[in-house]
Amino acid sequence: MDAGKAGALARDLNLHMSASSSRLFAWLAPVLIAVGVAIILSPVRAMALVHESIVVDAATGRVLESHNADAETYPASLTKLMTLYLTFAALAHGKLKLDQRLPVSVHAAAQSPTKLGLRPGETITVRSAILGIVTRSANDAAVVLGEALGGNETNFAQMMNAEAQRLGMKRTRFENASGLPNPEQKTTARDMATLARALIRTFPQYYHFFSVREFDFHGQIIPGHDHLLGNYPGCDGMKTGFIRASGYNLVSSAVRDGHRVVGVVLGGKTYARRDREMRHLLNVAFAEELHGAVVPVTLASTIEPSSTPVEAEHRAPERREVVHPALKAKSVREAAASRWNREVVARASRGYSIRIGGAFRTLRHARWAMHSAIRTAPRELHGARFKLVHHEQRGRRGYILQVIDLSEWRARQVCRKLKRRRFDCEVREPLSARSLSASQDG
């Protein structure tokens, strides 16, 4: 075979193989791409849709409300609660001091935002690192603390996991000090509530850090990410978190009348929806925790805190009684009686109440009715005071749901809206008004 024929044969063979390879690649390419994407994204997609929440009594750990609380998801920056827990432990045992300056490594400075913008070779005090975490959720500050306590971030992650196991966080694993994305770093709402309670119980002397809403760092004001601070009555900490794989996370602690509760919301679609759910969760918790007593409900879960109550907008101008000299009371006693009657009527104008539904068999049913009422008449129930009362009839126990201390207009307006949604609702006049009416009729 001469060189020309050999070359032509080689070219034909190469063309045939190239065509076959192209057809094979064209067939395999979509499959390979789909498999590769599935392998890469499967852990993210598997947990990105997880939505969970829990609220517990901070003192006893009793669960007041929960949803999907043991489903695993990514903690995001809630990881920093464990970083702070170990930092507070080191402070309490004298291994660190608040004014101690810690070196910033190349690894710490290279962390992704959000961060303080620390540079390799500079130093930062322990206090500033803590404040950077609780306000900006600074990843570089978290790594600085982790390296100071563990030597490097890998060793510190082992310390974090050992402490998590000791605290009973059974479904949590930490891989870094900051919460930046890692497919092996997982937690649950229940475990985060456990960690938050441990922080409050073990280190009360450092809990005030979580209440800081902004701090001055090198002449720059660093604002916080926690929108509930200052906007929800009694809320005084703790921590926000976000990565795309987890959604918007939040741990909050609030106290009213000496009762502290801890709430956790994981997997919020937006920070605003996450915050609204946390407000709603805390409202429910206080309603259950203080059932049988008067429970103020801010309703921040359904309307903005700055909204003006509808009652104030619709309040009629106060009528002033003109007294002519010729119409003076015949006696001091008669004048006093008249004045007492006016005072009773004035007090009665805000003493109306409503009863929603009948006797609910369980607390969950009563709470569901309260949620439904809030969503049905959010403006009219802004600032309302709910009351859950134990009820027993024919040996069966239940709960009565009331809204108290309403004006007559407000009470009737709420019932009107609830009845449109086929809720039983009964307006009850103040006892003093009924007594006064009976005495006048008699």
One domain for residues 244 and 369? no
For residue 421, the tally of other CB atoms under 10 A from its CB is 12
Instruction: Let me know if residue 156 belongs to a domain.
Output: yes
**How far is it, in rounded angstroms, from Cα 414 to Cα 291?**
22
Where a domain ends, among 290, 313, 348?
290
Instruction: Let me know if residue 327 belongs to a domain.
Output: no
The owner of tokens 């498999």 is: 35
Q: Summarize the confidence of residues 72-97 as an average pLDDT.
A: 98
One domain for residues 382 and 257? no
Q: In what order do the strands lie in the sheet with 259-268?
A: 63-67, 52-57, 259-268, 247-256, 235-243
One domain for residues 174 and 111? yes
DSSP 9: H
One domain for residues 242 and 371? no
**How far is it, in rounded angstroms, from Cα 370 to Cα 357?**
10
Q: Identify the CA nearest to 63 among candidates 228, 281, 226, 258.
A: 281
CA distances, 415 to each of 114, 238, 265, 362, 407 (Å): 48, 38, 32, 22, 12
Q: Identify the CA nearest to 75 among candidates 196, 229, 158.
A: 196
One domain for residues 358 and 258? no
Give the pLDDT band of residue 293 (cuts 50, 70, 90).
Answer: very low
- Element spanning 87, H or E: helix 80-92
One domain for residues 250 and 372? no
Number of domains forming the structure of the chain: 2
**How far is it, in rounded angstroms, from Cα 269 to Cα 281?**
16
Instruction: Let me know if residue 316 belongs to a domain.
Output: no
Task: Quote the pLDDT of residue 197.
Answer: 98
Q: Which member of 53, 80, 128, 253 is catalytic? A: 80
In this structure, are residues 123 and 108 in contact, taking their beta carbons and an 8 Å threshold? no
Q: Which member of 53, 105, 128, 137 is catalytic? A: 137
Point out which residues pair with 124 in neighbouring strands: 102
One domain for residues 91 and 199? yes
Which tokens in the block code for residue 248? Answer: 């918007």
Q: Summarize the confidence of residues 41-53 as an average pLDDT.
A: 55
The pair phi, psi for residue 86, each rounded to 5°, is: -70, -30
Helices (H), 233-386: 271-289, 310-314, 332-348, 363-376
Q: In what order do the strands lie in the sheet with 385-393?
A: 294-296, 385-393, 396-406, 352-360, 425-428
For residues 398 and 198, the model is more confident at 198
Q: Which member of 77, 105, 178, 252 is catalytic? A: 77
pLDDT digits (tens, 9 = 90+) for 13-22: 454 544 545 5
Name all contacts of 339-344 with Cβ < 8 Å and 24+ positions apart: 341/436, 344/432, 344/433, 344/436
Q: Is the pLDDT of residue 41 over 60?
A: no
Q: Reduced to 3 states, what is the DSSP secondary structure of residue 293? A: coil
One domain for residues 150 and 267? yes
Instruction: Let me know if residue 80 belongs to a domain.
Output: yes
Q: Reduced to 3 states, what is the DSSP secondary structure of residue 301? A: coil
Instruction: Let me know if residue 177 belongs to a domain.
Output: yes
Instruction: Let me know if residue 270 belongs to a domain.
Output: yes
Give the global pTM.
0.62
Told to judge if 77 belongs to the known catalytic residues of this protein, a careful annotator would answer: yes
**How far is it, in rounded angstroms, from Cα 188 to Cα 85?**
17
The pair phi, psi for residue 291, each rounded to 5°, is: -60, 140
One domain for residues 371 and 223? no
One domain for residues 260 and 390? no
One domain for residues 341 and 280? no
Where a domain ends, among 274, 290, 306?
290
CATH code, domain with 363 = 3.30.70
pLDDT digits (tens, 9 = 90+) for 373-408: 887 887 788 767 888 787 777 777 788 888 888 888
Where a domain ends, among 290, 310, 328?
290
In this structure, are residues 356 and 334 in contact, taking their beta carbons and an 8 Å threshold? no
Highest mean pLDDT (candidates 24-33, 340-349, 428-437): 428-437
CATH code, domain with 212 = 3.40.710.10
**Could you list the residue range(s) of the whole structural domain that residue 112 is in?**
52-290
Instruction: Let me know if residue 147 belongs to a domain.
Output: yes
The rounded radius of gyration (Å) of the Cα atoms in the chain is 31
Instruction: Let me know if residue 113 belongs to a domain.
Output: yes
One domain for residues 68 and 208? yes
Told to judge if 137 belongs to the known catalytic residues of this protein, a careful annotator would answer: yes
